[in-house]
Structure 1
Amino acid sequence: MSQETRIYMIGNAHLDPVWLWQWQEGYAEIKATFRSALDRMKEFPDFIFTCAGAAYYKWVEENAPEMFVEIQQRVEEGRWVVVGGWWIQPDCNIPSGESFARHSLYSQRYYLEKFGVTAKVGYNVDSFGHHGMIPQLLKKSGMDFYVFMRPGEHEKQMDSDLFWWESGDGSRVMTFRIPFSYGNWWKDGDPVEQKTRAVAALAEQHECSYMNFYGVGNHGGGPTIANLQTIHRLQEELGAGKIVLSSPNRYFSEISALQSASIPIHRDDLQHHASGCYSTHAETKANNRRAEHRLLTAEKFVTMAHHLLALPYPGEKLQHGWENVMFNHFHDIMGGCSIKEAYQDAREAYGESLHIASVALNAAVQKISWSINTMREGVTSLSKDKDWVLWEQEDKGIPLVVFNPLSWDIKAPIQVNKNVRGITDDQGTPVCVQTVRGSRTNGSADKWDTLFMGEIPAFGYRVYWMYRDKPQEAEASHLALQTEENVLENDYVRLELEPHTGYIKRLIDKRQGQDVLKGRGAVPVVIDEHDSDTWSHGICKFRNEIGKFADAEIRLLEKGPLRARIRVTNRYNRSVLRQDFILYHDRPEIEVKVKLDWREEHKMLKLSFPVNVEQMKATYEIPYGHIERPANGEEEPGQQWIDVTGLTEGTADQTYGLALVNDSKYSFDVFENDVRMTVVRSPIFADHFGVRDEWCEFMDQGVQEFNYGLVPHAGSWQDAQVVKKAYELNVPPVSIVETYHRGVLPQSFAGIRVSSEQIVVTAFKKAEDGQGYILRCYETSGKEASATIEIPMLERKWSARFGKCEIKTFRIPLSAEQEVQENNFIEL
């Protein structure tokens, strides 16, 4: 070894709390591993232990408090090094941007409270890929460095294992890719000795000091007595200054002082490892999306009800809901590669979080709705003389309060669980209604709902009045909605379905005279996956087509002034795919509600949309950002939307595109102009190329339901407000049927005003220390922006400058004399 290079030996124990075992076994293993690490410290005075995962520390604190005290002492001593700053080591593609913020918020505050420190090094040594906004998320969490292992050298070649990683906003963290493994993996001989010599050779080759991770991993264990004896022997042979028992903190600190200027810069995400994990176990991924949004919606309205009406703020319960969600982000849970029993545990945890959020949300919106002045002249007391469901008296109407969780005004379909003759807004203006089928079959008459288009203020609510028997003549719309047997058409688009296949035959944008698709669309393509394990190790493309759903049955289900719906039912072997194509009278987007009964094994289902553009660019939403990727057919992770935009055929400057938005899918590929969304795949549970026998069980068998939408647009996806349209699909309005009462609140209320269309507000909550409120937002278009933000109920208004893709967290003090301040994710 040269004099300039050094090997930093990082004693750690990779701990999978769930994988080929359930969390209860992981719980026990964490305690045993921590005990072992403390024993090593007594036996070897120079031993240093590195460990991430706030959830693990919390388990030990609650179940082995005497050992937790020992750990606190070792942290203070500097021999037990806290890294990670997140609840566990999560999948780094599927959780939302706000979920990563919550990992930092709850974990770093926990570390600060219990140990007096926060993590300085982001630490995800086994996660299967790393989205491109992680550098900004780390910097806003108090972390300047990052450690990962996957993708390895065989999956992504890079100039250096040590580099600056820069996200789209310009944030930069020093990043190290672990060579070989995070533990004692080696093909022969003493693993620590052989791996240390191999790492030393890399250090010589690259003329740069390296970290070498050692310790029994996956099921815990950590550094052994034999491991440390080997290291001492190597120190005697190579020099104690060359082989150093150390930590990532020390490594990055010393490297920063010596080599920071010469380190290369990487401006991209870090993929691909285990690309099958973007789609495996669809139920868990759908529950994750649902729980993230419901917790955020609950927080917003709980905060409103707390401030306006003194509703107690259930902070501990909401945090518990987030802790469940964050734990299920663990890469072997969220990645869909754990045993079957683990997913019953995940189902229960998501169920608890969804229920916590539902209870909090219901308490908030009902507190607000009960406080709105809805009294009608002539009403003296409540009595159900007119109807067994509604409290309406003397055709005076009955109030329906509709809440909008989003930070912009919306116009959205509202479906009321009652068939009424008329509806007006809070000013008494009639709105158009349509009778639609409800989800019940209660006799011959009680099976119909009422649909209308509600216009709801941002972060606010609006009262509509429903009349059971009294028609309300709405002004006729100038927008036409037409249907034929296989056609949906309005003033904006025409959708034609092919009768014998049910595929989209043509989608015409009438505004531009543009054929949106080049060929058939919404084609259900079946892919053979017999050569894949659960993770899809070594597989980056899924293009082995073996069939398509066909034999279409097409039925017109709804036809009215507001929307029309055609149901297409297709089959493949024993599987059934049902897609309801829905077109509203006042918008160009196509909404599709899907119900799939999947009975295939070792197969994948994709929906294909060939977009009619040239020289196209494929853009994917990633957590709190977006990224362009090549259209080379590789499977890629995405979130609520993906967009393909290019030049229209035969033009040099006319751009056109199609965005695909969804409410629960995370896996896509684009080959040339063909956009495909992965709907489901069915590998064996936790199959790493094992022996396949009659005991094997396959994932995602049975029924799943989800929604997606097609957003055709001229110009860019930014111009088409694709980000907001995706949120509108994922975060629908909340409505409460009310009665007559006096109250202190008006019938229409706007909670926020944001001047810039580029800025989306994602979180509004009470500050963790109780001193004011927290508002988080981000720039969505990739361009600098200035915005004025106003929260009328707090009597606050301020301006802020956003860089491209920048996330900002604002603390709003309770006292109006104190200025709004920008905080980090930890609220410091």
Structure 2
Amino acid sequence: MCKRKIHMIGNTHIDPVWLWKKAEGMQEVKSSFSSALDRMNEFPDFKFTMSSISYLAWVKENCPDLFERIREKVKEGRWEIAGAMWVEPDCILPAGESFVRHFLYSKRFVEENFEIDPVVGYNVDSFGHTSNLPSILAGCGMKYYLFNRPDKTKLAVPPVFVWKSPDGSSVTAERIGGEYLAWTKPGIAYNLKESKEALHSYGYDRMAVFYGVGNHGGGPTIDNIRSIYELREEDKEDAIDFSTMREFFGTVEKEHLTEFQGELGRIFMGCYSSDNEIKRLNRQAEWSLLKAEAIGAIAVKLSGGTYRYPKEDMERAWKMALFNQFHDILSGTSIEPARNEACQEFQYAIATARNTIANGIQGIANHIDTRGDGFPLVLVNPTGKAYHGVLCTDVYVSSAGRKQVRMRDTTGEEIPYAESGYRHNERDEARKSILFEAEVPPMGYAVYRVLQEGPSFKPVKNRMMVEKNFISNGILTVTIDEKTGCPSSIIKNGIELLADKVAFKVFYDDRGAWGGELLEEKSEGIFEASNIKLIETNFLRTVLRSTLLYQKSELVVDYILEKDSDIVKMNCSIHNHERHTEIAFCLPVAGKKHQVITETAFLAEQKVVKDGTEYYQHRFADITNDKGFGISVINNNAYGMNQKDNEYRLIISRSAMFARGESGPVDITPDKRFMDQGSWDFCLELLPHEEPIQKQRLFTEADFLHMPIEHLGDSNHTGEHWLRKESMATVTGAGVQISSYKLAECEKGTQVLRLFECEGMETVAQVKVQNTAFTVHLSPYQVKTYLIKDAIVTETNMIEKKVELAEQENAASTTGTGIKS
């Protein structure tokens, strides 16, 4: 009988932030790495595996001697660098492009400093793993994946299996038996027992088993290593040896493994709604950085390369954001002082992106010939779809309060406009807030003109219908309930989309930060309207404001209907003072047998939603009944949601105590600190539909909300580009979205374009990047990446390596995976 092969993996799990702040966590990196090197000197067969490339970058900068010692052990093959991500992030909430940046920056750092290519994904403590992660792993040159949570009580999978994404991409995965830590001999024995039981249950013969002190760092101890020698002597049935994850996976025959497709569970049911601020800042940082990359790329191309894109600043900002996607930060489970530092670092990333956007718009405008009557109003669209709709721009016009203006479009034709006082700084008499219908091409610009003379057309008749609690634009008719201050009716083309009144409901919720248990629903009431009033109406839009109150808290909701739009926009501002409560936007959708579709990384997937169970989404969810009509909800700050019968609930706030592990009531005293206290703004958009909606529409509207049109009132000057409207990148094809348009990391003057198919069908897209046109074939849910330089188009993987090179280096990489980016 052949012995089972047990690969003993020495590691330390380091939470750089959790129940301590970052400075202490990074000290543990230094201490733990030094300890691992000491163990190597004492035990010549000992090997060590680490993850989180930001730790190596920190050591290189702060402890260069220690870094050189690590380099030597890597060369010897005894120090394994796994993970290839900046940290061990939350593996559910980051956007697809954030996952790609984790691998892009991490693999480049490892290759430049160690001349190796890490291929083992490693997230042993993350609380769940999104269903499309194998596509991203394979697309970034990863072959294998290691995780520990959820355990066998939450998810039944073999100890070693093939994990597949909807596009067919796959990686070989292991779920660790027992724990990823073992402080003592009994702990190691337990991990061995759990692993052997899993092997026996599935008839497999090899597994990697973990040991070492962790969470606050530590690593394998002398006692750990001696215990393994002893256990090896005691166990006559198994071959137990010190090893690495790459050595282990190198012995696994993928073709003999069971396949699993889908999400790898979630172990905590409340961490997707814990700490709205940290999640809101993460969302803002991700999409601000993506917007800055796109505008920077447009500026560089329009300037012929003379505009200086701040590559180093942007990389630093991305790395700051990526670090704070660490699973104990982004989940909202860290102590308050540590998460406050994380908020500041997210804000640094946002500020860097904002500065890059502002300079990029100037870089675009500076190379356009803007001469003409009045002054030019330069509009920039950083998304992959053309913008057609009402736009509000705030511009400087001398003596603005006393003068009318005239607007001209990109063809020089006069267009009607409306002046707006909504959210306008009335104290500045030299500014105007101007509403007009704009058209801006994808990844491009349009130049409108503002003349300081009155319009020549007659006032446009306002066809909006408005009453005290009723607004209609001819497409949508919305009635606001006088008690809830929310829609009681939404009608489109004669079809009522609501089953009952919408409301912001309040539930008692005394769960801890992780929210590990299911919420036992205890309704405490709703926010009720104290005032409903008309703020603005003209021929382009109507704004109706509801002021809602609940105990000590206030919620102001501005409902906005625009000309020819099928979207109800909701600009919301909350002043929250509730504790141990959950506030949810509750939307009862008409009909039966509702299907819920939500966004995750590069994917819109159907959720199997159970009553009372918190699930996650990214920017949007769609709730459609068995007749095909329903309502889509797009938001710019929240991730937690659930579905109760026909009622969709987006969790706006869950005010738990910071880092509290247990549940149950507590005496509320000044020294007990609760999340989500104070004020913040957020946006919701309701997209009613009387027939099944295309997922591509949802991605497009979510892009417009998160990366809105930028504008600049410029001066008249010369420039190389005389076109009044121009696009740097266009894609035409059903179900095809642009995910990223940016400059390449390593090839100067090269553009990167990433596309993905979102409808689940074979499709062909026609792509044009400046003057270079090419055709792309995509299979269902496939992601593809291209480098474009001097009219030469090169297909690469997601981290900008040529496909042929990646296949040569990684041997088996993408054959049959459906992802050849």
Give the shorter-chain TM-score range. Answer: over 0.9
Once the two structures are superposed, residues 368-404 of structure 1 have per-residue CA deviations (whole angstroms, 9 ceiling, x without a partner) of 212221223xxxxxxxxxxxxxxxxxxx422110100
1:659 aligned to 632, 641, 644, which one? Answer: 632
TM-score normalised per structure 2: 0.92
Q: Percent identity?
A: 31
Q: Aligned runs of 1:358-377 on 2, under 5 Å?
A: 358-376=354-372
For residue 16 of structure 1, what is the aligned residue in structure 2? Answer: 15
For residue 57 of structure 2, what is the aligned residue in structure 1? Answer: 58
For residue 677 of structure 2, what is the aligned residue in structure 1? Answer: 701
Residue type of the alignment partner of 1:568: S
Cα separation, 1, equivalents of 2:219 and 2:167: 37
Cα separation, 2, equivalents of 1:769 and 1:89: 25
Residue type of the alignment partner of 2:96: G
For residue 509 of structure 2, what is the aligned residue in structure 1? Answer: 529
* 1:422 and 2:406 aligned: yes
State the Cα distance separating 1:148 from its structure 2 match.
1.1
Residue type of the alignment partner of 2:744: A
Cα separation, 1, equivalents of 2:381 and 2:275: 31
For residue 485 of structure 1, what is the aligned residue in structure 2? Answer: 468
Q: 1:240 to 1:143 in 2, by over 3 A?
A: farther
State the Cα distance separating 1:6 from its structure 2 match.
2.5
For residue 675 of structure 1, what is the aligned residue in structure 2? Answer: 648
For residue 276 of structure 1, what is the aligned residue in structure 2? Answer: 270
Q: 1:37 to 1:741 in 2, by over 3 A?
A: same
Pick which of 697-706 and 345-354 moved more.
Answer: 345-354
For residue 486 of structure 2, what is the aligned residue in structure 1? Answer: 503
Cα separation, 1, equivalents of 2:728 and 2:126: 39
Give 3-state SS (helix, strand or coil) of 1:787's partner. Answer: strand
2:167 aligned to 161, 164, 169, which one? Answer: 169
Once the two structures are superposed, residues 557-601 of structure 1 have per-residue CA deviations (whole angstroms, 9 ceiling, x without a partner) of 111111101111111111111111111121111000111111111
For residue 75 of structure 1, what is the aligned residue in structure 2? Answer: 74
For residue 818 of structure 2, what is the aligned residue in structure 1? Answer: none
Residue type of the alignment partner of 1:346: A
State the Cα distance separating 1:7 from its structure 2 match.
2.1
CA contact (8 A) 1:108 1:826 kept: no
CA contact (8 A) 1:122 1:147 kept: yes
Q: 1:474 to 1:315 in 2, by over 3 A?
A: farther
Cα separation, 2, equivalents of 1:31 and 1:799: 50
CA contact (8 A) 1:131 1:270 kept: yes
Cα separation, 2, equivalents of 1:168 and 1:182: 29
For residue 437 of structure 2, what is the aligned residue in structure 1? Answer: 453
Once the two structures are superposed, residues 769-799 of structure 1 have per-residue CA deviations (whole angstroms, 9 ceiling, x without a partner) of 225221111112222211110012xx21111
Give 3-state SS (helix, strand or coil) of 2:420's partner. Answer: strand
Cα separation, 2, equivalents of 1:410 and 1:202: 54
Give 3-state SS (helix, strand or coil) of 1:579's partner. Answer: strand
Residue type of the alignment partner of 2:346: Y
Cα separation, 2, equivalents of 1:33 and 1:353: 29
2:596 aligned to 618, 625, 636, which one? Answer: 618
State the Cα distance separating 1:344 from its structure 2 match.
2.1
Q: 1:551 to 1:812 in 2, by over 3 A?
A: closer
Q: 1:441 to 1:462 in 2, by over 3 A?
A: closer
Cα separation, 2, equivalents of 1:826 and 1:289: 24
Gaps in structure 2 of 5+ consecutive residues: 803-821
Give 3-state SS (helix, strand or coil) of 2:265's partner. Answer: coil
- Aligned CA RMSD, in angstroms, stands at 2.0
2:347 aligned to 342, 346, 351, which one? Answer: 351
CA contact (8 A) 1:517 1:610 kept: yes
Cα separation, 1, equivalents of 2:702 and 2:198: 46
Cα separation, 2, equivalents of 1:225 and 1:672: 56
CA contact (8 A) 1:438 1:448 kept: no
Cα separation, 2, equivalents of 1:291 and 1:612: 35
Q: 1:717 to 1:685 in 2, by over 3 A?
A: same
Once the two structures are superposed, residues 314-371 of structure 1 have per-residue CA deviations (whole angstroms, 9 ceiling, x without a partner) of 2111111110110011011111111111122112212221222222222221122122
For residue 393 of structure 1, what is the aligned residue in structure 2? Answer: none
* 1:805 and 2:802 aligned: no
Q: 1:225 to 1:469 in 2, by over 3 A?
A: same
Cα separation, 1, equivalents of 2:277 and 2:620: 19
For residue 6 of structure 2, what is the aligned residue in structure 1? Answer: 7
Cα separation, 1, equivalents of 2:520 and 2:262: 23
Q: Aligned runs of 1:135-214 on 2, under 5 Å?
A: 135-154=134-153, 156-184=154-182, 190-208=186-204, 209-214=206-211
Cα separation, 2, equivalents of 1:159 and 1:198: 14
State the Cα distance separating 1:752 from its structure 2 match.
1.8
Once the two structures are superposed, residues 193-234 of structure 1 have per-residue CA deviations (whole angstroms, 9 ceiling, x without a partner) of 333234333333333222221111111001111000100001
State the Cα distance separating 1:745 from its structure 2 match.
1.4
CA contact (8 A) 1:82 1:118 kept: no
Cα separation, 1, equivalents of 2:223 and 2:695: 62
For residue 280 of structure 2, what is the aligned residue in structure 1? Answer: 286
Equivalent pairs, count = 786
Pick which of 704-713 and 437-446 moved more.
Answer: 437-446
Q: Aligned runs of 1:472-621 on 2, under 5 Å?
A: 472-473=456-457, 480-510=463-493, 513-521=494-502, 523-530=503-510, 532-539=511-518, 541=519, 543-621=521-599
Cα separation, 2, equivalents of 1:185 and 1:527: 41
Cα separation, 2, equivalents of 1:45 and 1:720: 56
Cα separation, 1, equivalents of 2:274 and 2:190: 36
Once the two structures are superposed, residues 715-760 of structure 1 have per-residue CA deviations (whole angstroms, 9 ceiling, x without a partner) of 3231771221111111100100111112211222122221214211
2:616 aligned to 633, 637, 643, which one? Answer: 637
For residue 807 of structure 2, what is the aligned residue in structure 1? Answer: none
Cα separation, 2, equivalents of 1:76 and 1:443: 66
Cα separation, 2, equivalents of 1:629 and 1:696: 36
* 1:300 and 2:294 aligned: yes
Cα separation, 2, equivalents of 1:505 and 1:354: 37
State the Cα distance separating 1:519 from its structure 2 match.
0.8
Cα separation, 1, equivalents of 2:693 and 2:123: 32
State the Cα distance separating 1:443 from its structure 2 match.
4.5
Residue type of the alignment partner of 1:123: Y
TM-score normalised per structure 1: 0.92
CA contact (8 A) 2:302 2:367 kept: no
Cα separation, 2, equivalents of 1:203 and 1:273: 23
Residue type of the alignment partner of 1:547: G
Pick which of 174-183 and 239-248 moved more.
Answer: 239-248
Residue type of the alignment partner of 2:11: N
Cα separation, 1, equivalents of 2:417 and 2:575: 33
Gaps in structure 1 of 5+ consecutive residues: 377-395, 649-654
Residue type of the alignment partner of 2:34: R
Q: Aligned runs of 1:102-141 on 2, under 5 Å?
A: 102-141=101-140
CA contact (8 A) 2:379 2:440 kept: yes
Residue type of the alignment partner of 1:473: F
CA contact (8 A) 1:762 1:777 kept: yes
CA contact (8 A) 1:169 1:804 kept: yes
Give 3-state SS (helix, strand or coil) of 1:8's partner. Answer: strand
Once the two structures are superposed, residues 426-483 of structure 1 have per-residue CA deviations (whole angstroms, 9 ceiling, x without a partner) of 2222223222125455549567522222110111111111133321427958x93211
Cα separation, 2, equivalents of 1:335 and 1:297: 24
CA contact (8 A) 1:106 1:826 kept: no
Cα separation, 2, equivalents of 1:460 and 1:473: 29
Pick which of 31-40 and 446-455 moved more.
Answer: 446-455
Q: 1:441 to 1:364 in 2, by over 3 A?
A: closer
Give 3-state SS (helix, strand or coil) of 1:495's partner. Answer: strand
Residue type of the alignment partner of 2:314: L
Once the two structures are superposed, residues 36-81 of structure 1 have per-residue CA deviations (whole angstroms, 9 ceiling, x without a partner) of 0111111111111111111000001111111111111111111111
State the Cα distance separating 1:13 from its structure 2 match.
0.5
CA contact (8 A) 1:430 1:474 kept: no
Cα separation, 2, equivalents of 1:239 and 1:43: 26
Cα separation, 1, equivalents of 2:550 and 2:623: 29
Cα separation, 2, equivalents of 1:176 and 1:289: 30
Q: 1:194 to 1:128 in 2, by over 3 A?
A: closer
CA contact (8 A) 2:506 2:583 kept: yes
1:432 aligned to 398, 416, 420, which one? Answer: 416
1:712 aligned to 655, 668, 688, which one? Answer: 688
CA contact (8 A) 1:104 1:826 kept: no
* 1:827 and 2:810 aligned: no
Cα separation, 2, equivalents of 1:159 and 1:820: 38
